[in-house]
Amino acid sequence: MGRRQKGRIVNGWLILDKASGITSTGAVNRAKWLFDARKAGHGGTLDPIATGLLPIAFGEATKTVSHVMDGTKSYHFTLRWGIETDTDDIEGDPIEHSDIRPDPADVERALAAFRGRIQQTPPKFSAIKINGNRAYDLARDNRPVDLAPRPIDIFDIHIADMPDGDHTVFSVTSGKGAYMRALARDIARATGSVGHVSALRRTAVGPFTEADAISLDELESFGQIAAREEKLLPVETALDDIPALVVTESEAALLRNGRAVSLLQKVDLQRIADFNQGDTVLAKTRTKPVALAHYAAGEVKPFRVLNL
């Protein structure tokens, strides 16, 4: 007999407003304890200094994490001019100084090169693996960290505020894998100065926004798990941007057993009229999601069943 898993079965998304000073893993573990949940994961790491949206998936929602991580993200970060650090943020040690403080026009001209598909070299203090080792572990041991540039998408970047001569606040909307620390570093260098991130906040992840968010302190104040569960969003909230296919109970039974469902009958054509070959679709009954499936050759084949 297998060991009984600890915790309750909890399914859904918690959109945490992470405080500064706690790791993403620490925040997930705390939320998991508050819900006494059996299984939890998150939809994209935030640095310890960062605040803002950390989507936490419980139970069956963990099967949709990759979809959230592939979505767009929005940030506000503050660039501190004149000091570059080894971590590219305020937690690192200074490695270079500059007296240059670019004016807004110089910054705006530099930003033109940071919009669209660009090449970015990640910070050496990052979780990227090099020959099986995390880059940050190599950096801490003063071992060589050779990270190749990689393509990222910056859909929008603009100046949000310039509170003083040493700081500029930027608003960014990016795709998967973009490091705001590296973006700040490279913007500063492009203006002839140096700089680092002194503050960072994530304001949106995929379909989730600040309107959905709640802090750990507020969750703890509720006292009762039932009250906390009212703050959970349904599993399918993470899949709002993919097409849905309403299936019958008999079709749902096939999909739950990993079997494909043919949609070539005349009565099915209206249901699939808007689908394209290779589309990922959310198969659902009238009351609950059933599976993520691929549509091709007139059938839907499940690749991730949701046991709800």
> What confidence score (pLDDT) does residue 270 get?
61
Question: Are residue 97 and residue 158 in the same domain, yes or no?
Answer: yes
User: 17, 47, 89, 186: which one is catalytic?
Assistant: 47
Residue 62 lies in a domain: yes
Q: What is the C-alpha to C-alpha distance for residues 225 and 216, in angstroms, rounded to an integer?
A: 13
> What confidence score (pLDDT) does residue 285 get?
92
Tell me, yes or no, if 17 is annotated catalytic: no
> What confidence score (pLDDT) does residue 1 get?
46
Query: How is residue 272 written in tokens?
Result: 């699939």
> What confidence score (pLDDT) does residue 29 get?
95
Question: Are residue 120 and residue 137 in the same domain, yes or no?
Answer: yes
Q: What is the CATH number of the domain that holds 301?
A: 2.30.130.60
Burial string for 19-40 (b: 16+ CB within 10 Å, else e) reads eeebebeebbebbbeebebebb
pLDDT single digits (tens) 70-98: 999 999 999 999 999 999 999 999 999 99
pLDDT single digits (tens) 180-211: 999 999 999 999 999 999 999 999 999 999 99
Residue 6 lies in a domain: no
Residue 2 lies in a domain: no
Question: Are residue 63 and residue 85 in the same domain, yes or no?
Answer: no
Question: Are residue 141 and residue 84 in the same domain, yes or no?
Answer: yes
> Is 28's pLDDT higher than 90?
yes
Residue 81 lies in a domain: yes
Question: Are residue 55 and residue 162 in the same domain, yes or no?
Answer: no
Question: Are residue 284 and residue 214 in the same domain, yes or no?
Answer: no
Residue 256 lies in a domain: yes
Q: What is the C-alpha to C-alpha distance for residues 10 and 58, in angstroms, rounded to an integer?
A: 6
Question: Are residue 172 and residue 82 in the same domain, yes or no?
Answer: yes
Residue 5 lies in a domain: no
Total number of domains in the chain = 3
Range of the domain at 220: 12-71+207-238
Residue 3 lies in a domain: no
pLDDT single digits (tens) 117-165: 999 998 887 777 777 777 777 778 677 777 889 999 999 999 999 999 9
Q: What are the two backbone dihedrals, phi and then psi, of residue 64, each rounded to the nearest 5 degrees? A: -110, 5
Question: Are residue 234 and residue 247 in the same domain, yes or no?
Answer: no
Question: Are residue 174 and residue 226 in the same domain, yes or no?
Answer: no
Q: What is the CATH number of the domain that holds 88?
A: 3.30.2350.10
pLDDT single digits (tens) 229-276: 999 999 999 998 888 888 999 999 999 999 999 876 655 566 666 777
Neighbours of 113 (CB within 10 A): 12
> What confidence score (pLDDT) does residue 276 get?
77
> What confidence score (pLDDT) does residue 4 get?
63
Question: Are residue 87 and residue 165 in the same domain, yes or no?
Answer: yes
